[in-house]
């Protein structure tokens, strides 16, 4: 069955970097696009980034463009989110989610990133 497991979250100082991982199983990353979605404490869902199924294109929300980079390692079947120059407003639970073509059909359990000033 499809499973997504995020890791790499933690407490980091403002301005520093962090890399999140999302290990996928039950399917291969080169058959599906993948997203990162975040949720600040007590708030709603905010889309962050997408990498297309073939890795040919990536897109980002305005709030993270130029600071965050989405990538993948198909040999490890793992998705990544490199987060640089972190700000307090980046504090959130970060979810990876599989692109189902017209929706996000499977989600990981999330990993919490806390940016301290």
Partner 1 sequence: EIVLTQSPGTLSLSPGERATLSCRASQSVSSSYLAWYQQKPGQAPRLLIYGASSRAPGIPDRFSGSGSGTDFTLTISRLEPEDFAVYYCHQYGSPYTFGQGTKLEIK
Over the window 33 to 62, marking each residue x when it contacts partner 1 by CB under 8 A and - when it does not, the resulting string is: --x-x------xxxx--x--------x-xx
Query: Taking Cα atoms as reference points, which of 28, 24, 22, 29 lies closest to residue 8?
Result: 22
Minimum distance, C-beta of residue 88 to partner 1, in the bound complex (Å): 21
Complex with partner 1: residue 27 or 46, whichever CB lies closer: 46
- Rounded to a whole number of angstroms, the distance between the first and last alpha carbons of the chain is 40
**Spatial separation of the C-alpha atoms in residues 98 and 85, rounded to whole Å:** 26
Complex with partner 1: residue 58 or 87, whichever CB lies closer: 58
The site for partner 1, by CB under 8 A, has a size of 21
Contact 32, 98 (CB under 8 A): yes
**Spatial separation of the C-alpha atoms in residues 23 and 5, rounded to whole Å:** 5
Establish if 27 lies at the interface with partner 1 (CB under 8 A).
no
Residue list 76-115, contact with partner 1 (CB under 8 A): 95, 100, 102-110
**Spatial separation of the C-alpha atoms in residues 64 and 41, rounded to whole Å:** 18
Instruction: Please give the residue ranges that form the binding site for partner 1 (CB under 8 A).
Output: 35, 37, 44-47, 50, 59, 61-62, 95, 100, 102-110
């Amino acid at each position: 069955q499809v499973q997504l497991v995020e890791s790499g979250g933690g407490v980091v100082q403002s301005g520093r970097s962090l890399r999140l991982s999302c290990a996928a199983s039950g399917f291969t990353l080169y058959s599906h696009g993948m997203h990162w979605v975040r949720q600040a404490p007590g708030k709603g869902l905010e889309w962050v980034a997408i990498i297309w199924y073939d890795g040919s294109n990536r897109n980002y929300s305005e709030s993270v463009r130029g600071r965050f980079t989405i990538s993948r390692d198909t040999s490890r079947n793992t998705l990544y989110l490199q987060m640089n120059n972190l700000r307090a407003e980046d504090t959130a639970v970060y979810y990876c989610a599989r692109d189902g073509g017209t929706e996000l059909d499977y989600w990981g359990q999330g990993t919490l990133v806390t940016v301290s000033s």
